[in-house]
Amino acid sequence: MASSGRRPEHTAPPEMFYNESEAIKYTSNSRMIAIQAQMSGRALELLALPDADDYPRLILDLGCGSGLSGQVVEEMGHMWIGLDISEAMLNVCRSRELQSGDTLLADLGEGLPLRAGLFDGAISISCIQWLCNADKSTHSPVQRLYRFFSTLYSCLARNTRAVFQFYPENTSQIELITAQAMKAGFTGGLVVDYPNSTKAKKMFLVLFTGGSANQLPKGLSDGNDSTVDYNANRQTYRSSKPSKAPKKSRQWVLDKKERHRRQGKNVRPDSKYTARKRSSRF
């Protein structure tokens, strides 16, 4: 945040606010790294991607900044392409030499210059609210949001998702963003984690590119054990559970089913037969 306490988007346009010194400071702050990684991990969970064991998916990171979200995408076994308007942030990202990502300098409000159906999903952390501002006399937030969402819809494969973590300024801003997303063809809605907490509360806009059967995932609550943490020293994103169960074991199957439930997928109820191997003879 700016020293005056104002919201960053009211301080300066993003390409000016995130200058060279701010980009370096942002990327070297252990607290910001931890928060960014936690929100990126949650956004990927809400994206409900198939397991990376099948094959890596290509994720679009909107407002990718210095690549903190892209690092989490890599650690989850996927590839990514990031777009950002700040050249200083992208320079820091490139200097970090992440392995499976690439970046492009772009103003999201001008639309996405990307091939139709290219991506298996999109995430965005703390970015979308910037498009609600008119930083130039030629800017119309309504038109810029619609241009962004309509081109995003085009470059996503069908039956995929886009997940936006954002900090809305007020209810009107939420309505402005969601209205333009729905106008562009998306369905979906808001998922709010820890709604009763002042500090932990996080808001995600989860959008679907198709399929009326899509169920909006549930937000996390204080009693939910699916929180995530981030060890800044080890630079690894991980689940709150200490270790993974052996693959194909009963616990592995139960964990996977619970993860799919949190992602809003239809999952059969657990029973004593869950993960039990079938006999070779009938």
* SS3 readout for the chain: CCCCCCCHHHHCCHHHHCCHHHHHHHHHCHHHHHHHHHHHHHHHHHHCCCCCCCCCCEEEEECCCCCHHHHHHHHCCCEEEEEECCHHHHHHHHHCCCCCEEEEECCHHHCCCCCCCCECEEEEECCHHHHHCCCCCCCCHHHHHHHHHHHHHHHECCCCEEEEEECCCCHHHHHHHHHHHHHCCCEEEEEEECCCCCCCCEEEEEEECCCCCCCCCCCCCCCCCCCEEEECCCCEEEECCCCCCCCCCHHHHHHHHHHHHHCCCCCCCCCCCCCCCCCCCC
What is the average pLDDT score of the chain?
82
pLDDT at residue number 256: 76
pLDDT of residue 55: 83
pLDDT in tens, 187-245: 999 999 999 998 889 999 999 998 655 789 999 987 644 433 333 333 333 333 344 56
pLDDT band at 117 (very low <50, low <70, confident <90, very high): very high
Checking if the pLDDT of 274 tops 90, the result is: no
- The pLDDT of residue 235 is 36
- 258-280 average pLDDT score: 68
* pTM, entire model: 0.75
Q: Tens digits of per-residue pLDDT, 62-112?
A: 999 889 999 999 999 999 999 999 998 898 988 887 877 889 999 999 999
Residue-range domain boundaries for the chain: 8-240, 242-282
- What top-level class would CATH report for the domain 8-240? alpha beta
